[in-house]
Amino acid sequence: MSLTLCILLLYLMSSATLSMLFARKQSNKGFLLNYFAGSRSVGGIMLAFTMATTYTSASSFLGGPALAAHYGLSWVLLACVQYSVIFLIMGVIGKKIAQSARQTGAISLGDFVYSKYKSHGLVVTLALFQILFFSIYIAVNLAGGAQVFKTFLNLDYVHSLLIFSLTIGIYAFFGGFKAIAFNNTLQGFVMVLGCFFLLVALLNNGGGMSTIVQNIKTLNSNLLHPTSGGNLSQTFISSFWILVGLGLLGLPTTAAIAMGFKSNHEANKSIILGTIVLGLITLIIHLIGFMGVSFGEKANDGIIASLAKNNFSPVLAGIFLGAPTGAILSTVDTILIGCSAAFIKDILLRARPQTKQIKFITIAFNFFIFGVASFIVLNPPSFLVWLNLFSIGGQESAYFALIIFGLWTKKPSTLGAYLSAILGVGIYLLFYWKEWSFFGAHLSVVGILSSIAGYAMGLGIEKLNS
């Protein structure tokens, strides 16, 4: 299996090199602007791939298929709500945020929040939430990568985690994340190809879809049922149209990406292309997880790696590994930027505007976050997806109301924004801690509703006082 790993490392090195070369051609608008918003010069195709691949992280590429193997087609059904997300996001907030960013010169979400609500305190509070939830998000991806390395290296989980974190860290350090949009486009191609290759290999080895499905039917007929024989309720599955649907409108990453494109024309093209790319990757990789049951694979986060190992030659497996690694890299690079932006722009530069050595601090901070993230998943989570969704739900609870109201109402309310973030996250965490249920839906729903309620309360109080 060391051949496999060699090929993967080769892939990482070429990818980093290409990114560096491409980055050199980018304009020199200053480190901050370049690093944080890609100089707002991202073309349609790159934007499409950036959006598609940023959503496809370790959770969807590795974790999702694991649950598809566990619950069956009902989980694939659940994953398919994501077909419409790029369209939804771009249609509701994408262009407005980009417009707002162009007008105010905002390059991070914190800038945008300040431009609407004029409160430093709010920006700092949100930045802290962001750093917390983003660290978890990164942790999930590191754990996902660790599972992949574990399968191919035959090492224990902790060693795999450390090696993988180091690999990503070095990749980042050597400019692998310089041309993020380019990097994501590259990873996107690899992911789509990887999915197709693995699907074809499985269909070949399994004797066709019909045979595979009938085989699964004999093993566990629940896996063919839309609610997995009742293991997943209709409410729970449908609530994902909020968690990974409407709720995404409150995701800071989304807003940050949307701030990066050039023109409406580019945006329109990218919506359709991005939808196709994301849809293909999501559908195929989850279907593969489900099909894995027929091959005797265990339903855990290592399933995709295991399927690749057992159905590809070592060389092909090495090439394929570029896909989940790409999924992770493309997500981590965007999230890391968000994290750094939150710390540097929203907290540090606000407190001490004269700070020099920004580049150095950014790199140091990145390494720090990596350390924290690795620590969070030192004990591997049982299923990555749940931890990932916790992070996403948390972000949505903080941001949903203030992004939507900020963009779509005439007079944004600062008190409303404060209350929405604090109540949203507060109630979200409360429900999680107490393990309360909210009508059988995912807890992100109660978080988002709380954030809306909080905003309304703040708005009401402000009106009463005026």
Partner 1 sequence: MFKTNMELMITLLTYSLNFAWWFFFAFGVNWGEVETYSYIWGLPEWFFYSCIAGFGFCIFTIGVSVVFFFEKETQ
By CB under 8 A, residue 204 contacts partner 1: no
By CB under 8 A, residue 210 contacts partner 1: yes
**Between 246 and 332, whose beta carbon lies closer to partner 1?**
246
By CB under 8 A, residue 449 contacts partner 1: no
**Between 17 and 211, whose beta carbon lies closer to partner 1?**
211
Angle at which helices 303-311 and 120-153 cross, to 10° = 30
x/- map, 95-124, partner 1, by CB under 8 A: x---x-------------------------
Min separation Cβ 143 and partner 1, Å: 28
- The binder of partner 1 chosen from 163, 209, 347, 430 (CB under 8 A): 209
Alpha-helical segments (H) within 154-239 = 157-171, 180-206, 209-219, 234-238
Site for partner 1 in 394-423 (CB under 8 A): 408-410
By CB under 8 A, residue 231 contacts partner 1: no
**Between 281 and 332, whose beta carbon lies closer to partner 1?**
281
Return d(Cα 316, Cα 209) in angstroms, integer.
22
Which part of the chain contacts partner 1 (CB under 8 A), choosing from 1-9, 91-99, 360-368, 445-453? 91-99
**Between 78 and 305, whose beta carbon lies closer to partner 1?**
78
**b/e code 254-287 from CB counts within 10 Å (16+ = b):** bbbbbbbbbeeebbeebbebbbebbbbbbbbbbb
By CB under 8 A, residue 73 contacts partner 1: yes
**103, burial (CB in 10 Å: exposed 0-12, middle 13-18, buried 19+):** exposed
By CB under 8 A, residue 382 contacts partner 1: no
- The binder of partner 1 chosen from 20, 32, 193, 213 (CB under 8 A): 213
List all residues 6 or more positions away from 98 whose beta carbon is below 8 Å from its beta carbon.
Answer: 258, 259, 260, 261, 267
Min separation Cβ 341 and partner 1, Å: 24
| Region of 413 on the Ramachandran plot (φ > 0 left; ψ -120 to 50 alpha; else beta) | beta
List all residues 6 or more positions away from 68 whose beta carbon is below 8 Å from its beta carbon.
Answer: 75, 76, 79, 286, 287, 289, 290
**180, burial (CB in 10 Å: exposed 0-12, middle 13-18, buried 19+):** buried
**Between 28 and 103, whose beta carbon lies closer to partner 1?**
103
By CB under 8 A, residue 212 contacts partner 1: yes
Binding-site residue total for partner 1 (CB under 8 A)? 46
- The binder of partner 1 chosen from 51, 66, 92, 186 (CB under 8 A): 92
Residue type, 356: K
Q: What is the DSSP letter of 352?
A: -
Give the binding site for partner 1 (CB under 8 A). Answer: 73, 76-77, 80-81, 83-84, 87-88, 91-92, 95, 99, 208-213, 217, 221-222, 224-227, 234, 237-238, 241, 245-246, 262-265, 268, 271-272, 275-276, 279, 283, 408-410
